[in-house]
Amino acid sequence: MRGTLAKSWTTAFDGWPEGLRGWFSRDRDDDGADDGPRLPHGERRLLALMALGFCLIVGWWWFDRGPEVKVVPVTIGNAAQIVYATGIVEPVNWAKVTALSRKRIVDICKCEGEAVQKGDVVVRLDDDEEQAVLQELQSRLQRLNEEAARFDGLVKRNTGTRVALDDKLTEVRQQEARVAMQKDRISDLALKSPLDGIVMRRTGEIGEIAGIGEADTLLWIGEAKPLKIIAEVNEDDILKVAAGQSVLLRHEGSSAPLPATVERITPKGDPETKTFRVHLSLPDDTPLKVGMSVEANIVVSEAKNVLIVPAEAIVDGHVLKVAGGKVTEVAIVAGIRGTDRVEVRGDLQAGDFIITPPVHGLGTGDRVRPIRGDTMVGGQAAR
């Protein structure tokens, strides 16, 4: 067997240069000693060279693959540019019931959720002091009326002057005005519903002192439908917003976006908060309740069935496309920009893979190992 193998090696080296053929064909080690039953010296050297060549090929293949990069596919979808805002749900028609003077509450309706009519008394404040003043004014008026009647009798009997009667009648009219004013004060202590609607919330209780500030509202009365949202939009974005634009609302209690529409924009902004007030109308079937806070995405522009890429994949108007493990730098024109996606136009197709985020230093012709999640895409590992 050994002789046959040695003969085959000798035949394989026919035609090689003498020195090289001798290097492979010696059957003994350099010291001339016979090592017993093992491969001839030349065969061992050939195997060593083959192993070295294999290692070089593997090393070249490994290093030529390039760095690993994350890629995502170019997709077709709808691109929308939005303006973010936050707001509160309110009735379109509603009012607050607040006291005009600080008085103790003697009666307040327990009518949350119930319908009331315009003019119904919903809160009564303590008016004992005002009633006492009214009685005093009415007594004074009665006495002035009696004096005026006496002066009138004197004038008729030609024992009194017309000037004295006119002065007394003037005092009567002045006193009547005081009585009327006092009655109005008492009437103001009986708080009435300003409109037909539903009592949406009550905060006051009998025995408490009613305040006169904005935070001292006793009752909220309004119509159940329609509803609207008062949203605050940053002054940097307000020029993009216009009446009629569609709005997508997000609330923690709803799993899907809810629709709304921009109704109007308040002409004057708030210089302290640097925001403008935008009124959003809601459909009658909205599940939102009065007082809920929502996040509003106002769609200021939209494009459908366009190429979409991640915003972070674009650098200086280019994206890095990967095909067959090689990089190609592709120029693009960016269109509508969303929060994290951008509409693009250029030499791209749906399904092309692009590097995101871009790796510094990569350019056209560079080799890479594209990875999408835990799965290779492109090259021999594409799926």
Instruction: Name the H helices within the chain.
Output: 2-12, 18-25, 41-64, 128-156, 162-188
Are both 217 and 104 inside the same structural domain? yes
Contact 88, 220 (CB under 8 A): no
Domain total for the chain? 5
Cβ neighbours, 10 Å, residue 231: 27
Strand partners, 321: 328, 354
CA angle 245, 239, 344 (to 5 degrees): 70
Q: What is the pLDDT of residue 171?
A: 92
Residue 259: predicted pLDDT: 94
- One-letter amino acid for residue 367 of the chain: R
Q: Answer yes or no: do 246 and 290 share one domain.
A: yes
User: Strand 68-73 relative to strand 369-372: parallel, antiparallel, unpaired?
Assistant: parallel
**Whether residues 60 and 11 fall in one domain:** yes
Domain that residue 11 falls in: 2-64
Same-domain pairing of 206 and 298: no
Residues 354 and 366 reside in one and the same domain: yes
Residue 355 to residue 36: CA distance in whole angstroms: 60
Tell me: do 262 and 161 sit in the same domain: no
Does one domain contain both 17 and 110? no
> Does residue 4 have a pLDDT over 90?
no
**Averaged pLDDT score across all residues of the chain:** 82
pLDDT of residue 52: 66
Name the DSSP letter for residue 359.
Answer: P
Same domain, 312 and 291: no
**Does 28 share its domain with 45?**
yes
Same domain, 320 and 366: yes
Can you give the three-state secondary structure of 138-174, one letter per residue? Answer: HHHHHHHHHHHHHHHHHHHCCCCCHHHHHHHHHHHHH
Residues 199 and 112 reside in one and the same domain? yes
Q: Which CATH number covers residue 322?
A: 2.40.420.20
Residues 256 and 155 in one domain: no
Please, are residues 229 and 257 in contact by the beta-carbon 8 Å criterion? no
| Residue 9 tokens, joined | 């090696």
pLDDT, one tens digit per residue, over 121-140 is 999 999 999 999 999 999 99
Residues 13-67: pLDDT tens digits? 455 555 445 544 444 444 555 555 555 656 666 666 666 666 665 555 555 556 7
